[in-house]
Chain A
């Protein structure tokens, strides 16, 4: 069965439209980005900026040290991400469970999220990194790595707890009712029915927090850990050339891009599943 003349016309129109749109997009991209590049490279200070921020020899010099230090950032955020997720789920559940006997713990959980979401992360890092060891308590870790892990876990746990709590509250009450009607206990309903849906729903927001966390591992430089950014700073302060900073930035970007792409993919997938949207 051959397509009708009208269908052929329609297809031809669509092909033409696609071509035209592509051309417009290409031209506008070249004009705008080209204009920007021109504006930057023609500016009187560009030669200075290029020498100070984009010096290839400097980049080569600082690369091995920064790469080695970035391994510390990676170890840090892998450990912290797991702990943050556990802490977040725990705090979120404490806050939604309807058990009056838990009231004091709930109050503490509310206090925790309020305080740690409201405190600048850098301040938490300083307080934990220098303050905890100063207490001279036995059992407090002295390793800077673990102090850093504690500080960022506390800070980010508060954000993630609120994200997960929002997810739990967004699950329709009928889900709870169905679970309980089937004879499942509250705990099992939470674990097997509500929580999986809640986490899936807030996935993009969670990954957003994790991307932010990856960058904030650089804050741990203030307590003495030599991570990628500090390593870059040491090179920069020796030579007064800012190129190492750019190199370190590229490492951080490279580490966050995979997460960002995964986030996009998961968002689209859940939209498709839940709304039948084809994007």
Chain B
């Protein structure tokens, strides 16, 4: 078959037109960048009917899969067990949702933070609040303040460390995306580079294989890991991140979400009436006997 030049050009022009038509802008909504976060609204203005929800009448909450203890229980966020599951239902309750009106969806780390439309109203997954991150997403008021903890094996020479300095020569591991990793790099400054793992399960495996001397995680996770996951595991000590503010977890919403003020108001109300404290006592073993590492 011979294509004459002009015929070829016509075909290409047609193709280009088709392409441009195919890529015509889809309807977009949400994700505007005007900071709509007016001063914290009062809960009175935040009842189900006035909320800009993903699906009318239901609150869609996201978390990662698998959902780890002690934040969730049995990998089932919808059972109300585990600290974050309980907090999510408490927030829903403050906004006027019945337990049955809450739907859970799975969202991995990257899905949660990518630009564009989100598939949830808010996400609860131990996301630490930071100024850098606020450029990409919205955070609610903090619902938990976490200390960092160092976990090692009973047989390890680092078991009796009293200061962060003593851990300088340890091979440390942490989970990617956590502030634990930042704490390692900025406060302990280990002599060999810290190893980075996808999740705590892999970091624990590396600890048991003696591929790392110690792993760093937030204190509640550390408690759970030494109690349930690691044979002969022990917590060396806890420390507070000193570089920035205290480590605080917030509910994560799309940048500029109209829901942010309401969710923040709900979290504030839970803090004021003591609910958050009570849920902490119920689900998170509080550090009383873990020494502070200077």
Residues of B within 8 Å of A45, CB to CB, are 28, 31, 115-116
Residue among A42, A222, A223, A230 having the largest count of chain B Cβ atoms under 10 Å: A223
Complex Cα–Cα for A39 and B132 (A): 30
Asked whether A24 lies within 8 Å of B115 as measured between CB atoms, the reply is no
A242 within 8 A of B: yes
Residues of B within 8 Å of A, CB-based: how many? 46
Asked whether A226 lies within 8 Å of B193 as measured between CB atoms, the reply is yes
Residues of A within 8 Å of B25, CB to CB, are 42-44
B188 within 8 A of A: no
B137 within 8 A of A: yes
A225 within 8 A of B: yes
Q: Which of A98-106, A165-173, A231-239, A248-256 contacts B (4 or more CB under 8 A)?
A: A231-239
Q: Which of A48-56, A111-119, A176-184, A187-195 contacts B (4 or more CB under 8 A)?
A: A48-56
Shortest CB distance A35–B (Å): 4
Residues of A within 8 Å of B, CB-based: how many? 41
Residues 141-164 (chain A) with a chain B CB within 8 angstroms: 142, 144
Shortest CB distance A78–B (Å): 20
Asked whether B9 lies within 8 Å of A224 as measured between CB atoms, the reply is no
Asked whether A35 lies within 8 Å of B115 as measured between CB atoms, the reply is no
Residues of A within 8 Å of B15, CB to CB, are 32
The answer to whether residues A242 and B114 also contact, given A224-B173, A224-B195 and a CB cut-off of 8 A, is: yes
A121 within 8 A of B: no
The answer to whether residues A233 and B176 also contact, given A28-B9, A39-B23, A238-B182 and a CB cut-off of 8 A, is: yes
The answer to whether residues A31 and B132 also contact, given A24-B9, A130-B206, A144-B195 and a CB cut-off of 8 A, is: no
Asked whether B195 lies within 8 Å of A133 as measured between CB atoms, the reply is no
Complex Cα–Cα for A39 and B211 (A): 49
Q: Which residue of A lies closest to B198 (CB)?
A: A222
Asked whether A224 lies within 8 Å of B197 as measured between CB atoms, the reply is yes
Asked whether A39 lies within 8 Å of B20 as measured between CB atoms, the reply is yes
Shortest CB distance B28–A (Å): 4
Shortest CB distance A147–B (Å): 9
Complex Cα–Cα for A144 and B196 (A): 12
Asked whether A224 lies within 8 Å of B212 as measured between CB atoms, the reply is yes
Asked whether A28 lies within 8 Å of B5 as measured between CB atoms, the reply is no
Contact with A along B1-45 (1 / 0, CB 8 A): 000010011001101110110010110100100000000000000
Task: Pick from A24, A44, A49, A130: contact of B202, CB below 8 A.
Answer: A130
30 A–B contacts, CB within 8 A, in A order: A20-B5, A24-B5, A27-B12, A31-B16, A32-B15, A39-B19, A45-B115, A48-B115, A48-B116, A130-B209, A134-B205, A134-B209, A142-B209, A221-B196, A223-B206, A224-B195, A224-B197, A224-B202, A224-B206, A226-B193, A226-B194, A226-B195, A230-B176, A233-B196, A234-B196, A238-B132, A238-B182, A239-B133, A240-B133, A241-B132
Please give the residue numbers on chain B whose beta carbons come within 8 Å of chain A beta carbons, in ascending order. Answer: 5, 8-9, 12-13, 15-17, 19-20, 23, 25-26, 28, 31, 109, 113-116, 130, 132-133, 135-137, 173, 176-178, 181-182, 193-198, 202, 205-206, 208-212
If A24-B8, A31-B16, A240-B137 are given as contacts, then 9 extra A-B residue pairs at C-beta distance below 8 Å, sorted by A number, are A24-B9, A27-B9, A32-B15, A130-B206, A222-B198, A224-B197, A233-B177, A237-B109, A238-B182
